[in-house]
Structure 1
Amino acid sequence: MVKIRQASTVKDIQQIIILCKALHNESDYYRLQPFDKEQLEESLSNVVFSEYGLALLAIDHNEVVGFFIGGLTYGLFNKELIAFDYSVYMVPTKRNTRIAMQLIKAFEKWAIDKGANRFRVGTTTDIHSDKTSRFYEFLGFKACGVSFEKVFNHGC
């Protein structure tokens, strides 16, 4: 049975970093960018040790098989509290199970308990983006925009 629990220690952060490296290697998008373990560790610490962030671990037989990292922010035009994801990842062997749903539902409960009015998620990894979008729609999310990126080439 899979257990979902809040990350709360440096050891938990190190477990997430291992999976983040796997995500980075698997993603056609992120693989083209540098992987800075120290920066990732700092970013994760800012989430794990903040009242406005939450990192959740999915643990199956004492092995971390997935995570959900998210936070809270206020809307640009008002004080509406919005929950959002930084990243969601499942090891390939645990995809198409209920684990991702459990992670998202656990984060959603936390966000509601904190007073959030909205929950926004997205996909930028380019790992099964169509399936991921359908999964979010299945969970009740509605598409609400498109993301664009421009990369600046400094010093070359």
Structure 2
Amino acid sequence: MSEPRPPLPPFTRETAIQKVRAAEDGWNSRNPERVSLAYTVDSYWRNRSTFVSGREAIVAFLTAKWVRELDYRLIKELWAFTDNRIAVRFAYEYHDDSGNWFRAYGNENWEFDDNGLMRKRYASINDLPIEESERKFRWDNSGPRPADHPGLTDLGL
């Protein structure tokens, strides 16, 4: 049995926002093993056109992702929620190994088990090439977005 990962469903607006921010902070760590612990051992993902099942596959997927997507910085925002489901919109910025910058925009639908672990994740994502000067996500590369850094709505995204 997995350890509970609060906040637990059923979600309120406040706990859904907490869950979204926890997910954002985890992904901004760029630590695949740490991130995988937020998902059930048999979690199922659709990420763009890739299908992933289970924590080991999540670790492999994220390891490969963050080798390609350098200086990755992510912002998530709550879109909607219900008892054990949350919908978010997000954007992230990264560059490739040639120095080309991108901003990816997307939506995710999440479903959680009773212990607060995500068992399903459906992500639709589009990439937009940007100039380095167009970046909006500027904070220390080593961790989560600072509390005073604007979110997506504040940035006009």
Report if TM-score (shorter chain) is over 0.5.
no
Higher relative contact order (CA 8 A, sep 6+): 2
More helix by share: 1
Q: Which structure shows the bigger proportion of residues in strand conformation?
A: 2
TM-score w.r.t. the length of structure 1 is: 0.30
Normalized against structure 2, the TM-score is what? 0.30
